Chain A
Amino acid sequence: MILNYRRGGLLLGLVFFMAVFLMKPIGISTQFVILDGILWDLVAPDTVVPDAAGGGHASPNAYLDRSGGKYAAAVANPLNYGFVLVLAMMAGAFVSARLRGGVASEERAMPAVWRANFGDSVPLRHAATFVAGFVVLFGARLAGGCTSGHMMSGMMQTALSGYIFAAGVFLAGIPVALLLFPKEVRP
Chain B
Amino acid sequence: MTDLIFAIAVGGAFGFALDRVGATNPGYIIRMLNLSDLHLMRTILMGIGIASILLFATLLAGAIDPAHLSVKETHIGVLLDGVLLGAGFAVAGYCPGTGLGAAATGRWDAVTFVIGGLIGAGAYMLAYPLVAAAGLADGLSGGKATLGTIDGTKYPAAFPWPPGEIVGLCLGIVMVVVAFALPGSIRFRRKRTVPVE
Contacts and interface: CB of A to CB of B under 8 A. Distances in A.
A176 B86 CA distance: 8
A106 to B, nearest CB: 10
A contact residues, range: 35 or more
B6, B18, B90, B137: residue with the most chain A Cβ atoms closer than 10 Å: B90
A46 B123 CA distance: 19
Contacts of A24: 68-70
A168 B192 contact: no
Interface string B60-100: 00001000111111110111111111111111111111111
Interface in B27-55: 27-28, 30-31, 33-37, 39, 42-52, 54-55
A2 B106 contact: no
Contacts of B106: 97, 102-103, 108
A24 to B, nearest CB: 5
A139 B46 contact: no
A177 B146 CA distance: 31
B43 A9 contact: yes
A162 to B, nearest CB: 7
A73 interface: no
Interface string B1-43: 0011011111111111111111011111011011111010011
Nearest to A166: B82
Interface residues of B, number: 131
Interface string A20-55: 111111101100110111011000000000000000
Contacts of A2: 20-22, 25, 28, 39
Majority SS of interface residues in chain B?
A: helix
A177 B87 CA distance: 8
A69 interface: no
Contacts of A29: 96-97, 121
Interface in A133-164: 133-164
Given A130-B115, A142-B124, A172-B87, A152 B51 contact: yes
Contact of A184 (B34, B93, B108): B34
Given A33-B121, A93-B105, 11 more contacts: A8-B46, A12-B17, A12-B50, A93-B101, A126-B112, A129-B113, A130-B113, A134-B88, A156-B51, A177-B90, A182-B192
Interface of A: 2-6, 8-26, 28-29, 32-33, 35-37, 39-40, 61-64, 66, 79-82, 84-97, 100, 102-103, 107-114, 116, 125-126, 128-174, 176-178, 180-187
Interface of B: 3-4, 6-22, 24-28, 30-31, 33-37, 39, 42-52, 54-55, 58, 64, 68-75, 77-110, 112-126, 128-129, 131-132, 136-137, 144-148, 150, 158, 164, 167-168, 171, 175, 179, 187-189, 192-196
